[in-house]
Structure 1
Amino acid sequence: MVRTGPAAAILAAMLFGVGTPLAKLLVHDLSPWMLAGLLYLGSGLGLGLVRLARALAGRGAGRERGIHGAEWLWLTAAVAAGGVAGPVLLMYGLTAAPASAASLLLNLEGVFTALLAWFAFKEGVDRRLVTGMAAIVAGAVVLSLSGDMGSGSTGRGSMDIAAGWGAAAVAAACLMWAVDNNLTRKVSLANPVDIAIIKGLVAGSVNVGIAATLGSAMPAAPAVAAAMLVGLSGYGISLVLFVVALRQIGTARTGAYFSTAPFVGGAASLVIFGEPVTFGLVAAAVLMGFGVWLHLTEDHDHEHEHDEIEHDHPHVHDEHHQHHHDGPVREPHTHRHRHGRLRHRHPHFPDAHHAHTH
């Protein structure tokens, strides 16, 4: 868990970051809202086909569990905040203009995500984590101010700040995505592919509907296919990895790693568009690298107590899962199980078993 959580978050950021310059190649042929909708729909439909193929082949049975009970309420609220309210607020807050100004405000998503996780959802935090988050956000700010973000769309709207109310709307959109991230953490024990499918289909339908209302026509088949392929990678697979990271290392840490996506997009632009290496890109790399290093070398180790709990999630038989099966089982596997009270000490992250306060 200590290794795979950060790796999943960083890979999610890489896929999403690379999707930005790829989307820039498409934005000239598509309206921003239509592009956003096709990116989301590509993720939902693509992952849905993968899910169906695996089910028909009998693969993955018993490894993940479905969404059930109150989790549907958390997921509904997350989709409403991040897939509906966020894009609508951004539509009213942004118009076509320099990407750097909008990108600077969009960096608030990572900040809001961490702040909500720390103060509203009571995730553990220390000075090292705060310093690392600040360094990563500072790198994104440097990248934005230097103009190295490019002028393309990331699927969340066109890029310019209209006026004071526009800036407030962009900030509110970032807050909605932060709420989305923290609420998705509440359902992260469920199958991440199912979560990504639902989010992609709902957000895609909303954005395509907005595009049609604004008069955008459905583009030609090659453009639709290209946008959906980019969406499958940058929004679908990326979101699956993001949920896996939420499950294993918590919201604030996942959000911090994911904040490196602008740098990945800037670096990818060097290859795709032949853009020059700039001081802003190098400075951002140093700041973000320092922040990621602080998080990767975190040693959160103290004596803590586990209360009795009964839940259902994918697991292996480790020190937290010592229960009996009547026959042989394959790991990881999922079923409802009970944890007894336990007090011990070991390195850990704020996952489902370590949601204690400090």
Structure 2
Amino acid sequence: MSDPASPPPPGIALALFSALLFGASTPLAKLLLGATSPLMLAGLLYLGSGLGLLALRTAARHVTWLRPLHTQEAPLRRADLGWLALAVITGGMAGPALLMLGLARTDAASASLLLNLEGLATMVIAWGVFHENTDRRVVLGAFAILAGACVLSWSGTGITASTGALLIAGACLCWGVDNNATARLSGADPTQITLIKGLVAGTVNLSLALATGASLPSPSLILGAALTGFAGYGASLVLFILSLRALGAARSGAYFSLAPFAGACLAIPLLHEAPTLRLALAGALMGLGLWLHLTERHDHDHTHDSMEHEHKHTHDAHHQHSHGPNDPVGEPHTHQHRHGALTHRHAHYPDLHHRHTH
């Protein structure tokens, strides 16, 4: 996708940092889980994400150096509400509920392996339903990363075919739909999207936990869960949405599949777990997949159809439009703008402007 001498696109770094934050939240959540129920913890993590971003957006109205978080991104519009509802229902409500029901009916080893299906579901939907471009190198890289994740979570007992396994697989399918629906929203403000998802998912999960007899944990645990959720769910999802904007769902999903490796590496100092040959093998497979993706180059003549949308942009080769008297000055900026039809050739990813057929 890029010349050998040029740095990798920023969307890759965003996806990897997103995976690092989410992966780090797993051993931290494991430390908290012994003192509360899984459903209660899920609610607190999501609420920490939503409330943390709400506080950040509120502060951005009054603190100068935070103001770009509030002013430079395009807000959600009425046309986005269908995709937003699909993302919230599948990723924030159905996915966590199915996961908790599945965890109660299956063993931890099977659950760990099955959770890798999220990356596979994301890629299959992106390629099969939304027709994101791909080639043999991308597919091999994606499956090398997934193979590494499977090696990392393999216990030698395999997957138990059960109702619990089907429920967890259903949760992964929900998150695959969520990731692709969120990709349709990725031109909009990522903090606004994540805030809404966090508040809705947190409220639903917390309500379910209380309705099934769970009680609120200690204030210190609530604070720990909220901070973990803000970093591992809130900040991570904001970065993931920015990655979706630049890379598309399939590639972002593949990079995000590195999260279990990040979590396993952090568990060595945090939970005093010993490094293993399995961790080294998983790292080698994931490193191979990462190399295949980083050295990808997708370059061909392609046509941009005329379109109108709104997102943060600079006046690059794809944004040579005129401004009206009410449009913002300075760059980057956000306003409704029209792209004329354009045919040219350059290396590209399936970003906001390159979701064409092949």
Class of the TM-score when normalised by the shorter of the 2 chains: over 0.9
> 1:214, CA displacement in angstroms?
1.4
Secondary structure, aligned partner of 2:357: coil
Match of 1:357 in 2: 357
1:69 equivalent in alignment to 2:78? yes
> 1:162, CA displacement in angstroms?
7.5
- The separation in 2 between residues aligned to 1:54 and 1:23, in whole angstroms, is 29
> 1:83, CA displacement in angstroms?
0.9
- The separation in 2 between residues aligned to 1:242 and 1:179, in whole angstroms, is 15
Q: How do 1:77-88 and structure 2 match up within 5 A?
A: 77-88=86-97
- The separation in 2 between residues aligned to 1:56 and 1:67, in whole angstroms, is 22
Match of 1:156 in 2: none
Contact 1:40 1:203 in 2 (8 A): yes
Secondary structure, aligned partner of 1:337: strand
Secondary structure, aligned partner of 1:345: strand
Match of 1:135 in 2: 144
RMSD across aligned C-alpha pairs, in angstroms? 1.8
Corresponding residue to 1:217 among 215, 218, 224:
215
Deviates more, 1:331-340 or 1:192-201: 331-340
Match of 2:347 in 1: 347
Corresponding residue to 2:298 among 297, 300, 305:
300
Deviates more, 1:249-258 or 1:22-31: 22-31
> 1:99, CA displacement in angstroms?
2.7
Contact 1:2 1:348 in 2 (8 A): no
> 1:351, CA displacement in angstroms?
1.1
Secondary structure, aligned partner of 1:338: strand
1:39 equivalent in alignment to 2:45? yes
Q: Which amino acid aligns with 2:55?
A: L
Match of 1:23 in 2: 29
Structure 2, unaligned runs of 5 or more: 1-6
Match of 1:336 in 2: 336
Q: How do 1:1-358 and structure 2 match up within 5 A?
A: 3-57=9-63, 59-60=67-68, 62-95=71-104, 98-146=107-155, 164-325=162-323, 329-358=329-358
Contact 1:146 1:280 in 2 (8 A): no
Secondary structure, aligned partner of 2:90: helix
> 1:324, CA displacement in angstroms?
2.8
Match of 1:151 in 2: none
> 1:55, CA displacement in angstroms?
1.6
- The separation in 2 between residues aligned to 1:163 and 1:306, in whole angstroms, is 47
- TM-score normalised to structure 2 length: 0.93
> 1:166, CA displacement in angstroms?
1.6
> 1:57, CA displacement in angstroms?
3.1
- The separation in 2 between residues aligned to 1:97 and 1:273, in whole angstroms, is 24
- The separation in 1 between residues aligned to 2:328 and 2:54, in whole angstroms, is 31
Secondary structure, aligned partner of 2:104: coil
Q: Which amino acid aligns with 2:141?
A: G
Secondary structure, aligned partner of 1:217: coil
Q: Which amino acid aligns with 2:130?
A: F
- The separation in 2 between residues aligned to 1:2 and 1:266, in whole angstroms, is 26
> 1:186, CA displacement in angstroms?
0.9
Deviates more, 1:96-105 or 1:291-300: 96-105
Deviates more, 1:296-305 or 1:55-64: 55-64
Q: Which amino acid aligns with 2:307?
A: I
